[in-house]
Structure 1
Amino acid sequence: MARRPRTTSPAANPVLAILRTETVGGALLLAATVLALAWANSPFAGAYFALRELKLGYAPWHLELSLGNWAADGLLAIFFFLAGLELKREFVAGELRNPAKAIVPVAAAAGGVALPALIYVFVNLGAGNSGIGAPTLQGWAIPTATDIAFALAVLAVINTHLPAALRVFLLTLAVVDDLIAIGIIAFFYSHGLEPVMLLAAVVPLGLFTLLVRKQVRSWYLLLPLAATTWAFVHASGIHATVAGVLLGFAVPVSLAQTFEHRIRPFSSGFAVPVFAFFSAGVSLGGVPGLGAALADPVAIGIVVALVAGKAVGVFGTTFLVAKTTHARLDDDLAWVDVAGLSLLAGVGFTVSLLIAELGFGTGSPHDDHAKVAILTGSLIAALLAAVVLKSRNRHYRRVAHGENGYDDGGEVGGVFRAEITPSEGE
């Protein structure tokens, strides 16, 4: 007799479905951030910081961690597992499979990483920090990451009539951005490598890979192997979130959607908001303290890099590649659409907060200032992107309703115009 599929309770299904939506995930992330900032700047701030520093776990294997570190090293590995699944799917069956289609967003992602990093370095060197070994330069990678959850949530709130190609471009850019960020964390922010522990991680990872390739989905078999892989990678000195990516890459595309469907609600509804709650809590010290934080060259570099560096890096690289190679911008997109998306790429949050902690140390002055800058820069980038994309959304709505759809949005500053036929501007 055929086995009946296992189901969850009817009451739970709507909740899980809601937690899978981009807007809800972004809203929970924002709520956790606001709660952390409010608590950390309230008369009860001591309780917040005591909770964040509360240690739990097992001392050997470096597993006696504070709650803040458990969130950054443990819960965030779940987020990176989903990133690994998305990367695998994109490379095997998605936009990244076709080099001709992938070259533009991939190049845009690279430009959106390189220019912000350079801007951050120049700002901090120009502020009197001498030499490549200057302490503030440890944060060079903070403004390089685009937060998938927040960026897609902002786009989802705005979007009713924007071209589907815009979301595909953003998703591909953010996925490649994540891949670069993973490499940066693994190579530049991992310390004290223990080769024996790293080799030991190969055993549970190999068993996990073998089982998923045989289409095994039983959590009681896969979860212990995943946890053991994470523990060995953590003990090896490589940041434990890399274990999440490796496990995600191990899952065949035929199972990736199933795994993502199961895990996405836990990631967006619990893991990432809890990480944000423990990471975003900064004692600002009122308006003077906020001013002092934003006057730090670390903060100035991050804000300028997120708002201007990301936008110019993504847009400039896209324009350069489209004009100098055989690669082309999607026919459904105008250059002003790309400009709005480039601004949206400046919404850096989850990975940026993680790199700030890895670069400066949790709770250090530069770490606190970096977090204020990440929040400030991301908010400015989101607001500027919303203005541009809302305007484009109104244009595409008029076109869809048969109203005057003259595409004056194809120009940026009266210079650039997308290559479209006259009928596409109607």
Structure 2
Amino acid sequence: MIAQVRTELARYLRTETVGGVLLLVAAAAALIWVNSPWGAGYTTMIDTKLAIPALHLDLTLADWTKDGLLAIFFFVAGLELKRELIVGELADRKSATLPIVAACGGVVLPALIAVVVGWGVPGMDRGWAIPVATDIAFALAVLALTGSRIPPSARVFLLSLAVVDDLMAIILIAVLFTTTVQMLWLLVAAACFAAWFLGQKYRVSSPVLYIPIALVTWYALHEAGIHPTLAGVGLGLLTRVRPDPGEDEHCVPAANLEHFFQPISAGLCVPLFALFASGVPLDTEVFSELFTDRMSLAIVLGLLVGKTVGIFGFSWVAIRLGIAVKPNDLGYRDMFALSVLGAIGFTVSLLVAELALTDVGDGSAVELAKAAVLLTSMAASLAGSALLLRRGRVHQARRDERELQELESD
């Protein structure tokens, strides 16, 4: 009975809807807590040290969620990206072109807007990367809740562009937030990646091999000076996704690992990160600065305008030039609604804000940037929901009309 309950819970947590709802609940809880009379308790919690002296790790609970738990989130993202590239939508060049071009637009234009608006502001040398990422879980959750009547190709388009978008954001994290590299530890990480690859090549399935490799890879990258969440991405991309002859596709390592870790990522890792990262004091001063501070304006405009126009504009141009093909059942208005959902930055944007601005000034810059990300992501989700609901009614009306015509013809 207990096993059955656990199985059902895991299945439930695998849906984008529940993962997104848990993320929203955690973020709301953090905001309410930090702005309540018990706000000092929240600060004490996130600053509590959880050290491992033997490994010279002296991290706060907030650091563990950012560096540790998000490694699992990025591992799942790596698995999903590998699957899409090898056997999924991105494996076919024609199908892959549109979401790839859309993702490029959703990275380039927000970065340009952020640079132009925030030029010369302290921290902007790396802060321009804050609005470039789309939150996969959050965006797909909104689509699942409000876009149920939109054609299924909408989810494929949004998922594909968000996966490519996050890959670009991961590359930016590796480039922008790696200052000094300890080569010895980098070699240790490389050896771990090689061991994982060989284990996959020779069809080793025992977790006795892979768990130590994963832990050592994370630690080696941490000690090398590279953000350790990249361990998750690397290991995910090295995992086998194509089934052997006679092997069930559900038994492939990537499918098994995604099946196991997705509910952990959706139900624990991402919500806990949201809880520890979203606690921003919201007072009148913060709200006034959101629309006057150039860093926060760069983030707001980069996400809302840059992501929406970048994703839709690049897609439209690619389709008109014949570089990419628009899905037959999706109209341009559907794609615009999905582009608005692309402006939901949340998880990765909050992570980049933490990495880019923590050392800027007295620390208020990171709080203001996080407030801008939260506000913009909420605005994008509401606007996208309204557009999806309207498009859903249009598609439903068309389906009803076709069914009526079929009945009359019979």
**TM-score, normalization: structure 2?**
0.91
Deviates more, 1:136-145 or 1:147-156: 136-145
Residue 66 of structure 1 deviates from its aligned partner by 0.7
SS at match of 2:58: strand
Letter aligned with residue 207 of structure 1: A
Q: 246, 257, 260: which is aligned to 2:258?
A: 260
Residue 301 of structure 1 deviates from its aligned partner by 1.0
Alignment of 1:396 with 2:395, yes or no, is yes
Give me the whole-angstrom Cα distance separating, in 2, the residues matched to 1:316 and 1:205. 38
Letter aligned with residue 311 of structure 1: T
Give me the whole-angstrom Cα distance separating, in 2, the residues matched to 1:111 and 1:8. 47
Q: 275, 279, 286: which is aligned to 2:273?
A: 275
Are the counterparts in 2 of residues 107 and 317 from structure 1 also a CA contact under 8 Å? Answer: yes
Map of 1:76-87 to 2, 5 A cutoff? Answer: 76-87=70-81
Q: 1:326 to 1:359 in 2, by over 3 A?
A: closer
Gaps in structure 2 of 5+ consecutive residues: 242-251, 405-410
Q: 84, 90, 97: which is aligned to 2:91?
A: 97
Alignment of 1:340 with 2:337, yes or no, is yes
Map of 1:315-326 to 2, 5 A cutoff? Answer: 315-326=312-323
Give me the whole-angstrom Cα distance separating, in 2, the residues matched to 1:196 and 1:294. 46
Map of 1:367-382 to 2, 5 A cutoff? Answer: 367-382=366-381
Residue 403 of structure 1 deviates from its aligned partner by 6.4
Gaps in structure 1 of 5+ consecutive residues: 1-6, 406-426
Aligned residue pair count: 392
Letter aligned with residue 274 of structure 2: A
SS at match of 1:68: helix
Q: Which residue of 2 aligns with 1:168?
A: 156
Report Cα offsets for 1:330-378 as digits up to 9, x if no partner: 1111110111011110011100000001101178111100110001111
Q: 1:203 to 1:10 in 2, by over 3 A?
A: same
Residue 257 of structure 1 deviates from its aligned partner by 1.2
Report Cα offsets for 1:58-84 as digits up to 9, x if no partner: 246552111101100000000000011
Alignment of 1:327 with 2:315, yes or no, is no
Q: 226, 234, 259: which is aligned to 1:246?
A: 234
Give me the whole-angstrom Cα distance separating, in 1, the residues matched to 2:291 and 2:280. 13
Give me the whole-angstrom Cα distance separating, in 1, the residues matched to 2:53 and 2:167. 31
Map of 1:112-261 to 2, 5 A cutoff? Answer: 112-125=106-119, 129=120, 134-253=122-241, 254-261=252-259
SS at match of 1:10: helix
Report Cα offsets for 1:398-422 as digits up to 9, x if no partner: 12222699xxxxxxxxxxxxxxxxx
Are the counterparts in 1 of residues 286 and 368 from structure 2 also a CA contact under 8 Å? Answer: no
Residue 202 of structure 1 deviates from its aligned partner by 2.0
SS at match of 1:401: helix
Q: Which residue of 2 aligns with 1:18?
A: 12
Residue 325 of structure 1 deviates from its aligned partner by 2.9
Report Cα offsets for 1:212-267 as digits up to 9, x if no partner: 33444433432121011110011111100111001101110032111101111111
Letter aligned with residue 341 of structure 1: L
Give me the whole-angstrom Cα distance separating, in 1, the residues matched to 2:319 and 2:228. 38
SS at match of 1:295: coil
Are the counterparts in 2 of residues 215 and 255 from structure 1 also a CA contact under 8 Å? Answer: no
Deviates more, 1:134-143 or 1:343-352: 134-143
Calculate percent identity across the aligned residue pairs. 43
Report Cα offsets for 1:264-288 as digits up to 9, x if no partner: 111111111111111111122x233
Q: 1:61 to 1:194 in 2, by over 3 A?
A: farther
Residue 8 of structure 1 deviates from its aligned partner by 7.3
Report Cα offsets for 1:292-313 as digits up to 9, x if no partner: 3443211111111111111110
Are the counterparts in 1 of residues 20 and 137 from structure 2 also a CA contact under 8 Å? Answer: yes
Give me the whole-angstrom Cα distance separating, in 1, the residues matched to 2:94 and 2:218. 36
Alignment of 1:111 with 2:105, yes or no, is yes
**TM-score, normalization: structure 1?**
0.88
Q: Which residue of 1 aligns with 2:51?
A: 57
Report Cα offsets for 1:33-89 as digits up to 9, x if no partner: 011111111122122111111111224655211110110000000000001101111
Are the counterparts in 2 of residues 294 and 373 from structure 1 also a CA contact under 8 Å? Answer: no
Give me the whole-angstrom Cα distance separating, in 1, the residues matched to 2:75 and 2:137. 14
Give me the whole-angstrom Cα distance separating, in 1, the residues matched to 2:384 and 2:123. 32
C-alpha RMSD of the superposition: 1.9
SS at match of 2:181: coil
Q: 355, 360, 365: which is aligned to 2:357?
A: 360
Letter aligned with residue 389 of structure 2: K
Alignment of 1:310 with 2:307, yes or no, is yes
Give me the whole-angstrom Cα distance separating, in 2, the residues matched to 1:186 and 1:61. 23
